[in-house]
Amino acid sequence: MPGPRRDDAPGRRTLPVALAAIGFLSVLTLAGAGAAGLLPSLPRDAPEPTFRTVLLPTPALPTLPEQAPPEAPPVERFRALTVRLARNQTLAQALYKLQLPAADVNGIVEALTGLFPFNRSRPGDQLRVERREGEASIHRLSVRQGPADEWIVERLDDGSLRASKRPADLVTAVARVEVTIEGSLWSSLEKAGELPELAVLASDVLAWDVDFYLDVRSGDHLRVLAQKVSVDDRLLRYGEILAVEYDGAATGEKRLFRYTDPSGQSSYYDENGQSARRGFLKSPLKLAHITSGFGNRVHPLLGFERAHQGIDYGAPAGTPVWAVGDGTVRQAGVNGDCGKSVTLRHRNGLETVYCHLSSVTVSVGRSVSQKEVIGTVGSTGLATGPHLHFAVRKDGRFVNPLKLEVPRDAPVAPENLDDFREKVAPLRARLEGLPLAVD
């Protein structure tokens, strides 16, 4: 017989499938039996099944695109220009020259009206104009006349202009200044970092005892206790001179203190309460030098010897001339070879004469006070150049002004001496550089 065909035998491909089906059915049968309680349970002391946790990698989340940072606002750029007022130039003219729109110029003038002293504008006043880059209109303007005087004009958000004066924080402090004179007092103070104005103030206080045109020598020593007024840490000016000491080869030591008595009267006194003030100053000028002394000399214009009955002080034309003492004007105006001159009569019987003036500021019969300006230096009359001829007449005769002895004014009143000593003690200590006692 022929054997079975190959097609009738179970194929090799179907055998695994059949076995898998049989195994699957067996598992289902056992599972059902267990669920029905047909399978025996495990004993209670059987070990608990052991479980193992396997950490699977977390699938990566999709990456979101980063957000771009917000754009920064554009940077505002400004340009500034600083100029100074020229001679005979108004503020408005200077602004027009800076090519500001007419509306801006008119707005600035209107904003400053009543706040800025237009009539006191002067050459050298500083203007600083700020504008946005590419714009002709003003953003901010400052007008400065000094460290403590500055006016600001600013444009507000609504486009209007607002003006204000910058508040100046003035600070007054007492400072001790000490210099050894080399050359002139003026230049010596400048080298010490002080304003030359201090030389004028110190010479004013010492005017009764030190002639700063005749007595000053190189090597002389000056100490001053003065108020200093500052703004923004910059010295603006000096206040009162509280104490001063001059130690010179020709003068000896002179020390004076400012004292205000209980009635409110202020003056300068030495350490013993004697007044610094005399009936006459030692000179009718603050800053000058003697060009010709008292006595016979060959006259520079006449060419022959002639008595020189006064003192000549060389000084620039226009220098103020002050009365050396209280008095009454006896003569004022043109007076022969003296040119324009002034003659004063004083209570002590003396007369003083001031010649070759360029201008006279007093009239006959008027009363004048010591240090009051009576005219200015000139070269009128018989003169070779600007100078002051100063003469003193006593009992109808001219005397040497440099040898004139004039008594001092009254000292501190006896009832005020204790108050004087109490107020002067700390000034003396500061002048000498000693530490002050602190309560």
What residue ranges do the domains of the chain occupy?
Answer: 78-165, 170-269, 289-403
Please name the helix (run of DSSP H) or strand (run of DSSP E) that holds residue 141, with its range, or none: strand 140-146
The pLDDT of residue 299: 41
Q: Please, how many CA atoms are within 13 Å of residue 261, restricted to the half-sphere of its CB?
A: 14
Of 52-66, 235-249, 260-274, 394-408, the range with the lowest mean pLDDT is 52-66
pLDDT of residue 219: 93
Quick one: pLDDT at residue 289?
Answer: 67
CB 329 within 8 A of CB 343: yes
The torsion angles phi and psi of 78, rounded to 5 degrees, stand at -125, 155
**DSSP 3-state percent helix, strand, coil across the chain (nearest 5):** 20, 35, 45
pLDDT in tens, 313-357: 888 899 999 999 899 999 999 998 899 999 999 987 899 999 999
Provide the pLDDT for residue 357: 95
397-399 and 340-345 strand pairing: unpaired
Cα separation, 25 vs 353, in Å, equals 151
* Lookup: tokens for 252: 């000896």
- Tell me how far apart the alpha carbons of residues 429 and 407 are, in angstroms, rounded to a whole number: 29
| pLDDT band with cut points at 50, 70 and 90 for residue 435 | low
Would you say 389 and 340 are in contact if contact means Cβ atoms under 8 Å apart? no
- Looking at residue 225, its amino acid is L
Residue 403, both tokens: 């040898």
Residues 435 and 433: their CA atoms lie apart, in Å, by 7
* Average of per-residue pLDDT across 261-282: 90
Q: Give the pLDDT of residue 306.
A: 55
**Confidence at residue 166, expressed as pLDDT on a 0 to 100 scale:** 84
pLDDT digits (tens, 9 = 90+) for 212-269: 777 888 999 999 999 998 887 788 889 999 999 999 998 999 999 999 999 998 999 9
* pLDDT of 186 higher than 90: no
| Position 371 pLDDT exceeds 80 | yes
The topology under which CATH files domain 170-269 is Nuclear Transport Factor 2; Chain: A, (3.10.450)
In the chain, how many H helices and how many E strands?
6, 22
Residue 373 has pLDDT above 90, yes or no: yes
Contacts 24+ apart (CB under 8 A), 340-347: 340/375, 340/378, 340/380, 340/381, 341/381, 342/374, 342/375, 344/368, 344/374, 346/279, 346/280, 347/279
Q: Which is nearest to 324 in space by CA: 336, 338, 342? A: 342
Q: Rounded to 10 degrees, what is the CA torsion of 335, 338, 341, 342?
A: -90
Burial 313-352 (b: 16+ CB within 10 A, else e): bbbeeebbbbbbbbbebebbeebeebbbbbbbebeeebbb
User: 373-377, 386-390, 424-428, 430-434: which has the minimum mean pLDDT?
Assistant: 430-434
pLDDT reported for residue 74: 67
Share of the chain above pLDDT 70, in %: 77
pLDDT of residue 404: 81
Rounded Cα gap, residues 86 and 97, in angstroms: 11
pLDDT at 19: 47
The Cβ of residue 273 has, within 10 Å, a number of other Cβ atoms equal to: 17
Range ranked top by mean pLDDT from 3-7, 206-210, 218-222? 218-222
Which of 53-67, 132-146, 177-191, 381-395 shows the lowest mean pLDDT across its residues? 53-67
Contact 176, 431 (CB under 8 A): yes
Q: Is 229 exposed, middle or buried (0-12, 13-18, 19+ CB in 10 A)?
A: middle
* Run of H or E residues at 398: strand 397-399
Secondary structure (H, E, C), 337-393: HHCEEEEEECCCCEEEEEEEEEEECCCCCCEECCCCEEEEEECCCCCCCCEEEEEEE
Confidence of residue 208 (pLDDT cuts 50, 70, 90): confident
Residue with token string 């090597």 = 219
Local confidence band at 163 (pLDDT 50, 70, 90 cut-offs): very high
Q: What is the mean pLDDT of the chain?
A: 81
Domains 170-269 and 289-403 belong to one CATH topology: no
Instruction: State CA 28 to chain mean position distance.
Output: 106
What is the model's pLDDT at position 61?
59
On the question of pLDDT at 41 being above 70, the answer is: no
- What would the CATH number be for the domain defined by 289-403? 2.70.70.10
Q: Say yes or no to pLDDT of 70 above 80.
A: no
- 298: pLDDT confidence band, cut at 50, 70 and 90? very low
How many alpha carbons fall within 13 Å on the CB side of residue 183? 6
Confidence (pLDDT) at 167? 79
State the average pLDDT over residues 385-393.
91
Return the pLDDT at 390.
Answer: 92
Structure confidence at residue 121 (pLDDT): 86
78-165: which CATH topology? Nuclear Transport Factor 2; Chain: A, (3.10.450)
Q: How large is the average pLDDT for residues 391-416?
A: 87
Read off the pLDDT band of 51 (50, 70, 90): very low
Strand, helix or coil at 437? coil
pLDDT in tens, 103-127: 999 999 999 999 998 888 888 999 9
Give yes or no for a contact between 360 and 342, defined as CB atoms under 8 angstroms apart.
yes
Residue 58 has what pLDDT? 55
| Residue 418 host element (H or E) | helix 417-431
For residue 241, count CB atoms less than 10 angstroms from its CB and return exposed for 0-12, middle for 13-18, buried for 19 or more.
buried
